[in-house]
Amino acid sequence: MSRIGNKPIEIPEKVEINIDGNKINVKGPKGELVTEVLEEKINFEISDNVLQFTRESDEKQVKSLHGLYRSLVANNIVGVSEGYSKTLTLQGVGHRVTLKGNDLEILCGFSHPVVFKKVENITFDVPDQNTINISGIDKALVGQVAADIRSIKPPEPYKGKGIRYQDEYVRRKAGKAAVATTGA
């Protein structure tokens, strides 16, 4: 029994859902997203402003996809009504970011500034020179863009310099000076 797949999805009044064959169109105040259900053994129906997913088989593959599709549609509903956002911070002397048009220009210890091009349906906000806010309606796309920006210069464990998520904890290492004092 899939606990996630069997949960009903409450549809807010400002969100409209249209079912077209195996596609679920979710339209809200922030935009529109489409999820295509590729598994024929997973059914979905709307009744009394509640979207319910069911499955015809108890095969392992169908059971896992049952919860997956339910989660994707639930994320789409939250995305078109509220949106998603991630915040990145730059740590280190001389590390800063500026917004050049729609693109990000990141200075993070390289000999040249790194330009991160604007991604469609994603908005960047730079409140100060060490913070990047990434927002959009697609949860997976917001997370992927944040991971791509972080991968430019991930935080290193010795001084903690680099690009990190706002709530990320970087475990620090002592370094070779601490090893030399203990003696061998």
Sorted by sequence, the CB contacts under 8 Å of residue 67 that are 6+ apart come out as 2, 3, 4, 5
Q: What is the CATH classification number for the domain harbouring 70?
A: 3.90.930.12
What local confidence, expressed as pLDDT, does residue 179 receive? 63
Answer yes or no: do 113 and 75 share one domain: no
Flag whether 181 is in a domain. no
Whether the Cβ atoms of residue 25 and residue 37 lie closer than 8 Å to each other: no
With vertex at residue 36, the alpha carbon angle to CA 30 and CA 41, rounded to the nearest 5 degrees, is: 140
Whether the Cβ atoms of residue 44 and residue 51 lie closer than 8 Å to each other: yes
Domain boundary among 40, 65, 81: 81
Express each pLDDT in 157-168 by its tens digit: 999 999 999 999
Express each pLDDT in 87-146 by its tens digit: 999 999 999 999 999 999 999 999 999 999 999 999 999 999 999 999 999 999 999 999
Answer yes or no: do 55 and 102 share one domain: no
Answer yes or no: do 89 and 76 share one domain: no
Q: Is 30 helix (H, G, I), strand (E, B) or coil?
A: coil
Sorted by sequence, the CB contacts under 8 Å of residue 45 that are 6+ apart come out as 19, 51, 52, 54
